[in-house]
C-alpha cells in the first residue's frame, strides 16, 4: 500500500489537526473492536475464504474515498472500511491456514508458514515505502492512492484462490430456546443456558418445577420466580401485568438464547476453565498491541532525530527491516520455552527504550531491533494460542484475541496523546516499553508454576 508512508501527510495537508488525526486512529481501532468477534463468528459459520477476498474490496473503496474526496468525513469513512477489512481477515486467515495445514498433516509448520507470510507482508510494506517517493513526486496523492486501490484488488483476487476444505458450522437459531427455569434469576438462567439448557420442567440443578407457559397464573418466568403456594405472579386482577410480564419473559428468553449461542460459538464458556488457554488468549494483546500502536508514531520519532523530512521514509524502512527479520526468525524462535519468550520480550523492550531515548538516527537501529523482537514474539503468541484452541471455534477465539488487541491499542493511543503533550516522542516510546517488561515477568513466573 503506497499510501502507508504518506497518509498522515495527506491528512495534515487537507487541514486536519493532530487531534483530528488521532481521532481517526481511534475510529479505526473502534471499528475493529466492534467487528472483530462478529466477523470471527461469521468466519466459523460461513466461508473463511469469502471474508478474505471481501475485506480487500472494502479497503480499496476506503482508499479511493481518501484521494477522491480529501476531507475529515471521507477519511473517517475510509478508516471504517479499512477497519472492517482488518476485522474480516483477522482470525479467518489464521484459522484457514492452520486447519488446511492440519488437514495436510503439517500443522507443525504453522509458525514457519505464518512467519514467512508476515515477512512477505513486511517486505511489501518496505517496497511500498521505496516506491511511494517517486510515485508521489510524479503523480501526487492520486497516484499513490490509485496504486493502493490496485494492490487491494490484486489481494482480493489472490484470496479467491486459497484452498478451503472445511464444513462451516451451523448458524444461530432463529427462535429462542426455552428458559431453563421460572424460579431462577436472570443471571442463573444465563449460566444454565451456557452450560446446556435443561429440559422444560427442570431447573439447572435438576429440581422439578412447574412449566412456565401459563397465561393466567402459574410461575410466569420473572426475576422473582414463583410462589411457594403455587399462586402465579399475575393472580387476581393483574391480567395486564401478566401480559407485560409475558412479553418481558419472551424478550429475556430471546436475549439469553442469543447470549448462549454467542458463548457456544465463541467457545468462551470453556476458556474460564482452561487457564492455559486463557493465558494464551491474554498474551496476544499483551504482546501485539503496544508496538502496533507505536508504529503509527514512528515517523514523528524519526523526525525528532533531526533528519530532513525526505529521509524519514528511508529510516522507516530500517525499522521495517527489523520487523521483517523478526518474522523470518520466528520459526526458529518457536523452540523457545516460557523463559526464552520472557527473555525475548525483555530484550526487545530494552532495545526499544534505549534506541528511542538516544534521539539520533543511529538509535533508530535499536528501535528496529526492538520492533523485530516484538514481531517474533507476536508470531509466537499466536502459535501458542492456536495450539490451545479446539477446531470448532478457532477463528472466533482468534478474533477474541484480536478484540483484546484493539481495546489495548485504543488505550495506547489515548495514553500517547496525553504523554506526547508533555514529553518528547523518544521518552514516550521508552515509557511504552515498560509494559513489555511486566509481560516478560508474568511469562517467566507462569513458566515456573
Cell numbers that stand for 109 in this block: 509448520
Q: What backbone phi and psi angles, to 5 degrees, belong to 208? A: -80, 140
Q: Is residue 242 very low, low, confident or very high in pLDDT (cuts 50, 70, 90)?
A: very low
pLDDT of residue 243: 41
pLDDT of residue 155: 87
Q: What backbone phi and psi angles, to 5 degrees, belong to 202? A: -130, 140
pLDDT at 364 over 90: yes
CA 403 – CA 408 distance, rounded (Å): 9
Contacts with 390 (C-beta within 8 Å, 6 or more apart), sequence order? 267
Stretch 148-177: mean pLDDT, rounded? 72
Q: Is residue 254 very low, low, confident or very high in pLDDT (cuts 50, 70, 90)?
A: very low
Name the maximum alpha-carbon separation found in the chain.
86
Spatial contact of 113 and 97, defined as CB atoms under 8 Å apart: yes
The whole-chain average pLDDT of the chain stands at: 75
- Residue whose C-alpha cell is 509448520: 109
pLDDT at 314 over 90: no
Is the four-CA dihedral 407, 291, 416, 432 of positive or negative sign?
Answer: positive
Contacts with 167 (C-beta within 8 Å, 6 or more apart), sequence order? none
For the chain, first and last CA: distance in Å? 45
- Residue range 60-79, pLDDT digits in tens: 999 999 999 999 999 999 99
Pairwise pLDDT comparison (142 vs 299), residue with the higher score: 142
Q: Is residue 392 very low, low, confident or very high in pLDDT (cuts 50, 70, 90)?
A: low
- Residue whose C-alpha cell is 507482508: 121
Candidates 417, 288, 304; CA nearest to 357 is 304
Q: Is residue 273 very low, low, confident or very high in pLDDT (cuts 50, 70, 90)?
A: low
- Residue whose C-alpha cell is 479499512: 82
- Residue whose C-alpha cell is 488525526: 21
pLDDT at 348 over 90: yes
Contacts with 403 (C-beta within 8 Å, 6 or more apart), sequence order? 32, 33, 36, 37
Distances (CA, A) of 41 to 267, 283, 398: 10, 21, 10
Pairwise pLDDT comparison (178 vs 418), residue with the higher score: 418
pLDDT at 264 over 60: no
CA 100 – CA 217 distance, rounded (Å): 56
CA 331 – CA 346 distance, rounded (Å): 19
pLDDT of residue 150: 93
Amino acid at each position: 500500500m503506497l499510501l502507508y508512508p504518506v497518509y498522515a501527510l495527506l491528512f495534515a495537508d487537507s487541514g486536519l489537526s493532530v487531534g483530528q488525526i488521532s481521532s481517526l486512529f481511534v475510529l479505526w481501532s473502534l471499528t475493529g473492536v466492534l467487528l472483530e468477534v462478529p466477523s470471527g463468528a461469521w468466519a466459523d459459520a460461513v466461508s473463511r475464504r469469502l471474508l478474505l477476498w471481501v475485506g480487500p474490496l472494502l479497503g480499496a473503496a476506503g482508499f479511493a474515498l481518501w484521494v477522491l474526496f480529501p476531507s475529515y468525513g471521507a477519511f473517517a469513512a475510509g478508516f471504517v472500511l479499512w477497519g472492517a477489512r482488518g476485522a474480516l481477515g483477522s482470525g479467518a486467515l489464521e484459522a484457514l491456514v492452520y486447519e488446511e495445514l492440519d488437514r495436510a498433516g503439517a500443522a507443525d509448520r504453522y509458525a514457519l508458514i505464518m512467519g514467512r507470510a508476515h515477512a512477505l507482508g513486511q517486505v511489501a510494506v518496505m517496497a511500498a515505502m521505496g516506491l511511494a517517493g517517486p510515485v508521489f513526486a510524479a503523480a501526487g496523492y492520486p497516484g499513490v492512492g490509485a496504486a493502493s486501490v490496485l494492490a487491494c484488488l490484486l489481494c482480493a483476487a489472490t484470496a479467491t484462490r486459497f484452498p478451503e476444505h472445511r464444513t462451516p458450522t451451523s448458524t444461530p437459531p432463529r427462535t429462542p430456546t426455552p428458559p431453563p427455569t421460572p424460579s431462577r434469576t436472570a443471571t442463573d438462567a444465563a449460566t444454565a443456558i451456557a452450560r446446556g439448557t435443561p429440559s422444560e420442567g427442570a431447573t439447572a440443578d435438576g429440581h422439578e418445577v412447574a412449566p412456565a407457559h401459563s397465561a393466567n397464573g402459574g410461575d410466569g418466568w420473572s426475576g422473582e420466580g414463583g410462589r411457594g403456594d403455587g399462586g402465579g405472579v399475575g393472580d387476581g386482577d393483574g391480567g395486564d401485568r401478566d401480559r407485560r410480564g409475558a412479553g418481558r419473559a419472551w424478550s429475556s428468553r430471546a436475549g439469553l438464547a442469543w447470549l448462549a449461542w454467542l458463548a457456544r460459538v465463541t467457545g468462551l464458556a470453556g476458556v474460564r476453565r482452561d487457564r492455559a488457554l486463557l493465558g494464551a488468549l491474554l498474551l496476544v494483546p499483551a504482546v501485539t498491541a503496544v508496538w502496533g500502536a507505536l508504529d503509527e508514531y514512528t515517523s514523528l520519532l524519526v523526525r525528532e532525530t533531526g533528519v530532513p523530512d525526505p529521509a524519514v521514509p528511508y529510516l522507516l524502512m530500517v525499522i521495517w527491516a527489523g520487523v521483517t527479520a523478526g518474522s523470518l526468525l520466528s520459526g526458529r524462535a518457536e523452540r523457545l520455552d516460557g523463559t526464552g519468550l520472557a527473555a525475548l520480550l525483555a530484550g526487545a523492550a530494552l532495545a526499544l527504550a534505549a534506541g528511542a531515548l538516544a534521539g539520533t538516527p543511529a538509535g533508530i537501529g535499536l528501535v528496529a531491533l526492538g520492533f523485530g523482537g516484538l514481531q517474533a514474539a507476536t508470531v509466537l503468541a499466536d502459535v501458542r494460542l492456536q495450539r490451545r484452541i479446539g477446531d470448532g471455534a478457532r477463528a472466533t477465539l482468534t478474533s477474541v484475541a484480536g478484540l483484546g488487541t484493539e481495546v489495548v491499542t485504543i488505550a495506547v493511543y489515548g495514553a500517547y496523546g496525553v504523554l506526547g503533550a508533555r514529553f518528547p516522542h523518544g521518552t514516550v516510546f521508552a515509557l511504552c516499553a515498560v509494559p513489555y517488561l511486566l509481560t516478560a515477568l508474568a511469562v517467566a513466573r507462569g513458566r515456573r508454576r
